[in-house]
Amino acid sequence: MLFEKVASYYEKLESVSSRLAMIDIMTDMLKESEKDEIKNLIYMTQGVLAPAFEGVQIGMADKLAEESIALSTGKTKEQVNALFRKTGDLGIAAEECAKETKLRKISGKKLAINDVFEALHKIATTSGSGSKDMKIKMLAGLLSNSAPLECRYIVRFAMGQLRLGAGDATILEALSKMSTGERTAKEKLENAYNICSDLGEVGETAKKKGMEGIENFKVTLFKPIRPALAERLPTAAEILEKMHGKCAVESKYDGLRAQIHIDKKNKRVEIFSRRLENITEMFPEIVKAALSEVSCESAILEGEAISYDEDTGQFSPFQETIQRKRKHGVKEMSEEMPLHVFAFDLMYINGEDYMKKPYRERRDMLEKVVKGNGTIRFSDRIIVTKPSEMEKYFEDRIANGLEGIVAKDLNAYYIAGARKFSWIKMKRSYKGELSDTIDVVIVGYYRGRGSRAEFGFGGLLAAVYNDRTDMFETITKIGTGFTDDMMKEFKKTLDKIKSAKKPVRVNALVEPDFWVEPKYVVTVKADEITKSPMHTAGMHNENGIETGYALRFPRIVGGGMRQDKSADEATTTKEIIEMFEQQRKTKLSEAA
Ligand code: ATP
Q: Write out residues with Cβ below 6 Å of ligand 1.
A: 227, 229-230, 250-253, 257, 274, 304, 344, 379, 406, 425
The pTM of this model reads 0.84
Gap between the Cα atoms of 3 and 268, Å rounded: 38
Q: Is 472 helix (H, G, I), strand (E, B) or coil?
A: strand
Residues with Cβ < 8 Å from 118, sequence gap 6 or more? none
Gap between the Cα atoms of 515 and 497, Å rounded: 9
Residues with Cβ < 8 Å from 365, sequence gap 6 or more? 346, 349, 354, 357
pLDDT value for 452: 82
Using 50, 70 and 90 to split pLDDT, how confident is the model at 429? low
Residues with Cβ < 8 Å from 198, sequence gap 6 or more? 51, 53, 223
Q: Which residue has the higher pLDDT, 470 or 210?
A: 210
Contact 460, 522 (CB under 8 A): yes
Residues with Cβ < 8 Å from 133, sequence gap 6 or more? none
Does residue 430 register a pLDDT over 60? Answer: no
Q: How far is CA 320 from CA 126, 337, 357, 408, 575, in A?
A: 35, 9, 35, 28, 29
pLDDT value for 105: 56
Q: Which atom in ligand 1 lies closest to the alpha carbon of residue 256?
A: 20
Q: What is the DSSP letter of 111?
A: P
Query: Rounded to the nearest 10 degrees, how much is the dihedral formed by the CA atoms of 409, 412, 416, 419?
Result: -40
Q: Is 203 helix (H, G, I), strand (E, B) or coil?
A: helix
Using 50, 70 and 90 to split pLDDT, how confident is the model at 336? confident
Average pLDDT over residues 224-240: 93
Which fold would CATH assign to domain 3-158? DNA ligase i, domain 1 (1.10.3260)
Q: What is the pLDDT of residues 17-32, one digit of tens each?
A: 788 899 999 999 999 9
Gap between the Cα atoms of 420 and 96, Å rounded: 49
pLDDT value for 431: 45
Q: Is 172 exposed, middle or buried (0-12, 13-18, 19+ CB in 10 A)?
A: buried
The number of C-alpha atoms within 13 Å of 375 and in the hemisphere containing its C-beta is 18
Strand partners, 229: 419
Contact 473, 548 (CB under 8 A): yes
**In 10 A of CB 277, how many CB atoms?**
18
**Which residue is closest in CA terms to ligand 1's atom 24?**
252
Query: Measured in angstroms, how far is the CA atom of residue 3 from the centroid of ligand 1?
Result: 42
Average pLDDT over residues 427-452: 80
Does residue 303 register a pLDDT over 90? Answer: yes
Q: Which atom in ligand 1 lies closest to the alpha carbon of residue 437?
A: 2
Average per-residue pLDDT for the chain: 92
Q: What is the pLDDT of residues 495-511, one digit of tens each?
A: 988 888 888 899 999 99
Q: What is the pLDDT of residues 99-149, one digit of tens each?
A: 987 654 556 689 999 999 999 999 999 998 899 999 999 999 999 999 999
pLDDT value for 434: 66
pLDDT value for 413: 96
Gap between the Cα atoms of 155 and 145, Å rounded: 13
**Which residue is closest in CA terms to ligand 1's atom 31?**
252
Which region among 43-57, 243-257, 313-327, 465-479 has the lowest average model confidence (pLDDT)?
313-327
Q: Provide φ and ψ at 240, rounded to 5°.
A: -65, -35
Which region among 225-229, 265-269, 400-404, 567-571 has the lowest average model confidence (pLDDT)?
400-404
Catalytic site residues?
252
Which fold would CATH assign to domain 229-430? D-amino Acid Aminotransferase; Chain A, domain 1 (3.30.470)
Nearest C-alpha neighbor of 256 from the set 202, 192, 308, 190: 308
For a mutational test of ligand 1's pocket, the pick from 247, 256, 304, 367, i.e. the residue with the most ligand atoms closer than 8 A to its C-beta, is 304
pLDDT > 70 in the chain, percent: 97
Average pLDDT over residues 198-225: 96
Contact 219, 350 (CB under 8 A): no
| Angle at CA of residue 244, ends 570 and 425, nearest 5° | 25
For a mutational test of ligand 1's pocket, the pick from 225, 239, 250, 252, i.e. the residue with the most ligand atoms closer than 8 A to its C-beta, is 252
CATH no. for 438-591: 2.40.50.140
- The whole-angstrom distance between residue 506's C-alpha and the CA centroid of its chain comes to 17
Contact 559, 586 (CB under 8 A): no
Helix (H) or strand (E) holding 194: helix 186-196
Domain boundaries, the chain: 3-158, 229-430, 438-591
Q: Which residue has the higher pLDDT, 590 or 65?
A: 65
**Which residue is closest in CA terms to ligand 1's atom 4?**
254
| H-type alpha helices, 181-251 | 186-196, 199-215, 236-242
Do the domains 3-158 and 438-591 sit in the same CATH topology, yes or no? no
Q: What is the pLDDT of residues 510-544, one digit of tens each?
A: 999 999 999 999 999 898 999 999 999 999 776 77
Query: Measured in angstroms, how far is the CA atom of residue 342 from the centroid of ligand 1?
Result: 12
Q: What is the DSSP letter of 299?
A: E
Gap between the Cα atoms of 104 and 362, Å rounded: 65
Does residue 435 register a pLDDT over 80? Answer: no
Does residue 482 register a pLDDT over 90? Answer: no
Q: How far is CA 347 from CA 230, 298, 443, in A?
A: 17, 11, 36
Q: Is 486 exposed, middle or buried (0-12, 13-18, 19+ CB in 10 A)?
A: middle
Using 50, 70 and 90 to split pLDDT, how confident is the model at 388? very high
Residues with Cβ < 8 Å from 588, sequence gap 6 or more? none
Average pLDDT over residues 352-370: 97
Q: How far is CA 536 from CA 122, 484, 545, in A?
A: 42, 30, 10
Does residue 583 register a pLDDT over 90? Answer: no
Query: Measured in angstroms, how far is the CA atom of residue 92 from the centroid of ligand 1?
Result: 43
Q: Which atom in ligand 1 lies closest to the alpha carbon of residue 564?
A: 7
Query: Measured in angstroms, how far is the CA atom of residue 252 from the centroid of ligand 1?
Result: 7
Does residue 333 register a pLDDT over 80? Answer: yes
Contact 508, 536 (CB under 8 A): yes
Q: Which atom in ligand 1 lies closest to the alpha carbon of residue 381?
A: 27
Q: What is the DSSP letter of 112?
A: B
Q: Provide φ and ψ at 232, rounded to 5°.
A: -125, 145
Quickly list DSSP for 15-26: H---HHHHHHHH
pLDDT value for 592: 66
